[in-house]
Amino acid sequence: MEADAVIKKFSLMASVSALALVLGADLAAAQELDVTKRPRPEYDAAGLRAGSFLIFPKTTISETYNTNIYATENNTADDFITRLSPEITVNSDWNNHALNARAFVDHAFYASHNDEDYTDYGLLADGRIDIQRSAYLFAGGGAEHLHEDRGSENAVNGTDPTEFDRYTANLGGTYKPNRLGVTLEGNWKNLDFDDVSTSTGATINNDDRDRDVYGERLRIGYDVQPGYTAFIQGSLNQRDYDSVPDDNGFNRNSDGYRVDAGIEVRLSNVIDAEFFGGYFNQNYDDARFSDVSAFDAGARVLWSVNPLTTVKASLARSVEETVQINSSSYVATIAEVGVDYELRRNILIGAGGSFSNNDYQGISRNDDVWRLNLNGKYLINRRFFVGATVGYADRDSNTANKSYEQFTAGAFVGAQF
């Protein structure tokens, strides 16, 4: 699925902040807070050593029942879906610097609706160069072949799921010689959508959606006191479409900016959180599209309530692309919360939910989307694990035939080395 328009787990700033955390020296502390990622030497994969690298092969097989595979308001269809998801992760084992890579395949077989079968795959990598204790450079990139979920806000309802290629790259650096720290980053994303056919045999031209998205970010933080960092951050983005104008005569190119200020809180063994607010604006080249301006708000929280319980929460606002005629975009506001509990050392259970509001610009459409999930995982030993998931999704739209309700239930088994 198209990650920037469907998942929306974090805003641009919160996402990049999380990336910096992963690349930095605080990863171990964050893992200790998160009960689902906490090291468990007796159950964690040992990996295969290849020189100064560790290789982690992993395969998961799942079976899921979906009550509404097309995410439609009427004439729903259900099916059983079998997924085979092998992946391999390679991590460097160095005292300084870091280099990581991941390759994956995700193939789904539908029991009765074979046209819905899909195969996603990709290769991603990231790395860090430690210049000195107070400075490092980081970079990453990826190439992925994915499909768009039927519940996507931009789904075009072809006879087959819409497939697309996504290429990404980022480069940046952090310098923190004392209480003052600075992070500068640039990133790029390219999206290339395949055409699909309708039930009548006509072709839906998805070339209109092909685009490059560029972004630049600057963040300045100051340690007010141990565990508390005040920051200001700003970002720019440029969204350039391959087809100008599109088939409906619109020029969807745009430029935007975002300015925020906030506080980051990191208290050992208790909380890793960030709260910010500000303003964002998106300016469109087409004179028929009005500029999109709104107040920004964001948060991410990772809270260790006690040694066995972790609470996660996030809030984000963003301007997302759309293919709706006469609409430039939609403003997405999404709030998420989840709780994970360690029932036993090798038994983890969790529950979560999210609410998002998609306010389409230039037209009257407005969608509210609710998602709920329950999950459990049993770690049999260092090699094998099993689990189960239950999910619910509901989209309530004021536009005809855009609402849907969907239940899913499934189980999975996996092996790792």
Beta bridge partners of 61: 84, 413
Q: Which residues pair with 354 in a beta bridge?
A: 336, 371
d(CA 268, CA 32): 9
Looking at the DSSP bridge assignments, the partners of residue 412 are 62, 387
Q: Which amino acid is at 123?
A: L
Class of domain 3-416 (CATH, top level)? mainly beta
3-state secondary structure of 6: helix
pLDDT digits (tens, 9 = 90+) for 169-224: 999 999 999 999 999 999 999 999 999 998 888 888 899 999 999 999 999 999 99
Contact between 308 and 139 (Cβ < 8 Å): no
| DSSP state at residue 333 | E
**pLDDT score, position 26:** 56
**129 within 8 A of 89, measured Cβ to Cβ:** no
For tokens 């790029």, the residue is 188
pLDDT one-digit tens code per residue, 168-182: 999 999 999 999 999
Q: How far apart are CA 122 and CA 107, in angstroms?
A: 12
Residue spans of the domains in the chain: they are 3-416
Encode pLDDT of 240-298 as tens digits.
Answer: 999 999 988 999 999 999 999 999 999 988 999 999 999 999 999 999 999 999 999 99
Question: Mean pLDDT throughout 406-417?
Answer: 98
List beta partners, residue 308. none
